[in-house]
Chains A and B, each alone.
Chain A
Amino acid sequence: MSDSRALYEQVILDHNKDPRNFKVLEDADHTIEGFNPLCGDHFTIYLNMDGETITEVAFHGAGCAISKSSASVMTTLLKGKTRKEAEHLFEKFHAMITSSPEVPVDEEGIGKLRVFSGVRDYPVRIKCATLAWHAVISGIEGKDNAITTE
């Protein structure tokens, strides 16, 4: 499949143009940088936790429409989630976008993240879609080092 309209869903274009929680959080509990050295995408993820629960997520930086909108959608989903729930959601998301484009999308439990199913047709963009997620997961696991997609 080659029609990129299926990749650039309206929700993705909307979050790209008007990213949510797109700000610097001074004094965040966790600050994690995410790089994609291949295309130069670079985001910083800010994370506040209360015990096991994520109380605030924000991000800032520059990247393509897929990486930026994925980071934006992610921040809207993670607030109020526990560490375990966030990890579980990322597992579902990761399994979905790395699944074969030939099989139907497993929609169970992924909700809004379904808009990224078009990425399955563009394997080089998987790293874009998961960049912010890798960073946030490394943050909630207490590893605040910079992460890269390579």
Chain B
Amino acid sequence: MSLSSDETILSTPLDVERIRQDFPILATHVNGKPLVYLDNAATSQTPKQVVQAIADYYNTSNSNVHRGVHRLSQVATDQYEMARKKVARFLGAPLVCEVIFTSGTTEGINLIAQTYGRQHVGKGDEILVTHMEHHSNIVPWQMLCEEKGATLKVVPVDEKGDIIFEEYEKLLSPRTKLVAAVHVSNALGTVNPVKQMIEAAHAMNIPVLLDGAQSTPHMPINIKDLDVDFFVCSGHKMYGPTGIGVLYGKGKYLEAMPPYKGGGDMILSVSFEKTVFNSLPYKFEAGTPHIEGTIALGATVDYLNAVGMVAIARHEQMLMNYGEEALQAVDGLRFIGQAREKAGVISFVMEHAHPHDIGQILDEHGVAIRAGHHCAQPIMKHFNVPATARASFAMYNTKEEIDALVNALHAVNKVFA
């Protein structure tokens, strides 16, 4: 993309009304009220162009990939591999063959733990995570540490919700075999200083895995520029379908890693004496893949490129600023997580109402938020709350919807305060 077109995108605000036309589900009414969908960090909605891509696949191209000599199989394979190219370009991956399709972020992390992790982590070694990880970036490492006699180390977080960078640097040691960190926190919205974190780890030859589940939908991602070693994300949090995700890995690591699952597609030849594994990326894609989901993810990337990730990021930042201002009008409301840089998420508690009850009353007003621990119990404990209420934004949200949230929160206080 040339500089001039970048500038065009920067200066053009999103046409949100037009975008909303692409998401028929947003016209839903809940309890007679227009749906206000602010649970995007759990699952974002999917534009009709992506839904159409799924229908088109089944109506015109449904066939198994990498197998048949017949026409449909060739068409399906071409579309499947085209999606890989689109995703690689979208994420700024240096090589297309370094992009592996998974079922989602969780599977991507487990894949790395079970292959790279089991290969490289031994007794006395350490894996470094942050205090704000999602359970999916804690539990696979705990399981690995348990198996290998290794230790899980945790980068502390301050009272605002930022990692304490000096502590991070101190925790990097010759025993550290991997840093596994969240790019954007799903519970707090914190954007971690990942570029500096990666530089510091690389200075000690430690590879870094980024959990990009919450960053990919909200900002332009450039893997090459980040120089990150592993990057994982999920389709359904970036306006795509469920059940599909991406694992990027640097070729030098992926080549040396053992396969994760055995089966068809991941082999070159099989005899009862010896199996020769396939080359990248197929070595890590055993069995018939989620073809429909992959092709739809390619369509999702087309959609996001057409709207522009820079424009999406700017729109959501505007919503976040407006929201944080507007929510201060609600009595007894306290923000959980006020990091220097945030994306997509406002997490809060209320003095008189438990998050579960907040969510219930909001639903009555048609407002969908998440209430709970957000699969991030350690960071909840850090802030000494059992749960929070979380409003999370997407490109199709509006200021008017935030006003509806604020009104509904006043109604919560009417019931409980």
Q: Which residues of A contact B (CB under 8 A)?
A: 2-5, 7-8, 13, 16-17, 38-42, 62-66, 68, 122, 125, 128
Contact = CB atoms under 8 A, between A and B. Distances in A.
24 contacts: A2-B31, A4-B364, A4-B415, A7-B360, A13-B415, A16-B416, A17-B352, A39-B355, A40-B372, A40-B373, A42-B386, A62-B354, A62-B386, A63-B356, A63-B386, A64-B354, A64-B355, A64-B356, A64-B357, A65-B353, A65-B356, A66-B356, A122-B360, A125-B356
Interface string B337-357: 000000000000000111111
Nearest to A68: B354
Given A4-B361, A63-B354, A64-B356, A40 B416 contact: no
Q: Chain B interface: which size bin?
A: 20 to 34
B364 A39 contact: no
B364 A65 contact: no
Contacts of B208: none
Nearest to B33: A2
Nearest to A122: B360
Nearest to A5: B415
A117 B335 CA distance: 34
B377 interface: yes
B357 A40 contact: no
Given A2-B364, A64-B354, A122-B360, A39 B416 contact: no
Contacts of B372: 38-40
Given A8-B415, A63-B354, A65-B416, A39 B360 contact: no
A65 B416 CA distance: 9
B386 to A, nearest CB: 4
Contacts of A17: 352, 416
A16 B353 CA distance: 9
Contacts of B377: 40
A100 to B, nearest CB: 20
B298 to A, nearest CB: 35
A41 B386 CA distance: 7
A38 B372 CA distance: 7
Contacts of A4: 360-361, 363-364, 415
Given A2-B31, A64-B354, A65-B416, A40 B386 contact: yes
B351 to A, nearest CB: 12
B238 interface: no
Interface in B372-417: 372-373, 377, 380, 386-387, 415-416
B415 A39 contact: no
A126 B160 CA distance: 35
A65 B356 CA distance: 8
Interface string B110-144: 00000000000000000000000000000000000
B371 interface: yes
Contacts of A16: 416
A17 B354 CA distance: 11
Contacts of B356: 39, 41, 63-66, 125, 128
A122 B364 CA distance: 12
B387 A40 contact: yes
A70 to B, nearest CB: 13
A39 B371 contact: yes
Nearest to B366: A2
Contacts of B353: 65
A124 to B, nearest CB: 9
A64 B357 CA distance: 6
Nearest to B386: A40
4 closest cross-chain pairs (CB), A and B: A40-B386, A64-B356, A64-B354, A40-B387
Contact of B357 (A5, A42, A65): A65
A64 B371 CA distance: 11
A7 B416 CA distance: 13
Contacts of A8: 357, 415
A3 to B, nearest CB: 7
A40 B373 CA distance: 6
A128 B386 CA distance: 14
A70 B372 CA distance: 19
A29 to B, nearest CB: 27
B388 to A, nearest CB: 9
Contacts of B354: 62-65, 68
A118 B365 CA distance: 18
Interface in B286-315: none
Contacts of A62: 354, 386
A62 B357 CA distance: 13
B348 to A, nearest CB: 15
Contacts of A41: 356, 386
B66 to A, nearest CB: 40
Interface-centre pick from A2, A8, A42, A64 (highest chain B CB count, 10 A): A64
A40 B363 CA distance: 20
A18 B416 CA distance: 12
A4 B30 CA distance: 13
Contact of B416 (A13, A38, A42, A63): A13
B139 to A, nearest CB: 13
